[in-house]
């Protein structure tokens, strides 16, 4: 009988320890999600301004802007320094991309103090676009690039080109853009999907 009592007590302690561990993990997860920027803060973002916006698990800081920005998601580009297709490329390889100037909600990494201006390239995913992986295409990453506005509708952005190929390009659904075209894209990385999810979550806040 004492052995049975000891075994039951040991099992009870084990269950309690397991429950406590699971509770702590759930608590940490809830704490991490509670650090996401609230929808009320997103809705309060004034036109022409930016704020630090956290999203994800663990939370990642982004810069969310409300106002003008350069949108390079489907921009065609021209190599500025040497050749953009002979890999590996020098670290300072750049491309010039012609981007649209838009106004609204957009997102980028860092530089929150720069505010919302048409001379910075931010991310915003327009309706009717899908992502396609181009594993051998040059990665022209315009996110956060500095631009020069040519008029009220377009800008010229100088964007870095990665030393190794591989990018996601955005194309209208139902079309097939050639991976041989030099165009603005995004890294083939979970961080790209998380950036898109963070942006979509912010947009959903404005619709609620």
CB atoms within 10 A of CB 53: 24
What is the predicted pLDDT for the residue at 15?
A: 38
Does 17 reside within a domain?
A: no
Does 19 reside within a domain?
A: no
Does 129 score more than 60 pLDDT? yes
What is the predicted pLDDT for the residue at 198?
A: 96
Contact 119, 149 (CB under 8 A): yes
CA distance 143 to 99: 12
Does 10 reside within a domain?
A: no
Owning domain of residue 77: 39-207
pTM of the predicted structure, to 2 decimals: 0.80
Does 31 reside within a domain?
A: no
Mean pLDDT score of the chain: 85
Lowest-pLDDT range of 37-46, 62-71, 120-129: 120-129
What is the predicted pLDDT for the residue at 123?
A: 96
Does 3 reside within a domain?
A: no
Does 21 reside within a domain?
A: no
Structure tokens at 127: 């309706």
pLDDT band, very low/low/confident/very high, at 126 (cuts 50, 70, 90):
confident
pLDDT band, very low/low/confident/very high, at 152 (cuts 50, 70, 90):
confident
Interior angle at CA 204, CA 100 and CA 140, nearest 5: 35
Mean local confidence (pLDDT), 166-193: 93
What is the predicted pLDDT for the residue at 183?
A: 95
What is the predicted pLDDT for the residue at 82?
A: 80
Contact 162, 89 (CB under 8 A): yes
Q: Which of 87, 68, 73, 91 is nearest to 160 (CA)?
A: 91
* Helix or strand holding residue 21 (H, E): helix 2-34
Query: Looking at the DSSP assignment, which residues form a beta bridge with residue 79?
Result: 95
Does 202 score more than 60 pLDDT? yes
Lowest-pLDDT range of 15-24, 115-124, 139-148: 15-24
What is the predicted pLDDT for the residue at 106?
A: 97
Does 113 score more than 80 pLDDT? yes
Does 32 score more than 90 pLDDT? no
What are the strands, taking DSSP E only, across the chain? Answer: 49-55, 60-71, 77-79, 94-108, 121-122, 129-134, 140-141, 147-149, 154-160, 167-172, 184-185
Structure tokens at 26: 């759930």
What is the predicted pLDDT for the residue at 9?
A: 45
Q: Which of 150, 167, 39, 28 is nearest to 99 (CA)?
A: 150
Does 20 score more than 80 pLDDT? no
Does 76 reside within a domain?
A: yes
Does 67 reside within a domain?
A: yes
Does 14 score more than 60 pLDDT? no
Count of domains for the chain? 1
150: Cα within 13 Å, side-chain hemisphere: 10
Looking at per-residue confidence, does 125 or 190 come out higher?
190
What is the predicted pLDDT for the residue at 24?
A: 38
CA distance 199 to 197: 5
Mean local confidence (pLDDT), 38-46: 96
Whole-Å CA distances, 104 to 122, 187, 200: 11, 24, 13
């Amino acid at each position: 009988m004492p052995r049975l009592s000891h075994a039951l007590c040991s099992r009870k302690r084990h269950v309690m320890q397991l429950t406590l561990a699971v509770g702590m993990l759930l608590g940490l997860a809830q704490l991490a999600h509670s650090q996401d920027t609230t929808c009320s803060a997103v809705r309060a973002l004034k036109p022409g301004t930016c704020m630090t916006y956290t999203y994800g698990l663990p939370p990642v800081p982004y810069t969310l802007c409300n106002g003008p920005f350069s949108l390079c998601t489907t921009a065609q580009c021209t190599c500025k320094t040497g050749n953009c297709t002979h890999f590996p490329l020098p670290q300072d390889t750049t491309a010039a991309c012609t981007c649209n100037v838009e106004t609204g909600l957009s997102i980028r990494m860092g530089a929150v103090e720069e505010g919302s201006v048409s001379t910075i390239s931010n991310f915003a995913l327009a309706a009717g676009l899908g992502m396609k992986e181009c594993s051998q295409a040059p990665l022209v990453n315009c996110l956060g690039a500095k631009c020069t506005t040519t008029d009220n509708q377009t800008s010229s952005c100088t964007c870095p080109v990665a030393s190794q190929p591989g990018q996601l390009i955005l194309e209208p659904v139902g079309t097939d853009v050639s991976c041989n075209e030099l165009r603005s894209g995004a890294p083939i990385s979970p961080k790209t999907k998380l950036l898109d999810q963070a942006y979509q979550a912010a947009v959903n806040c404005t619709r609620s």
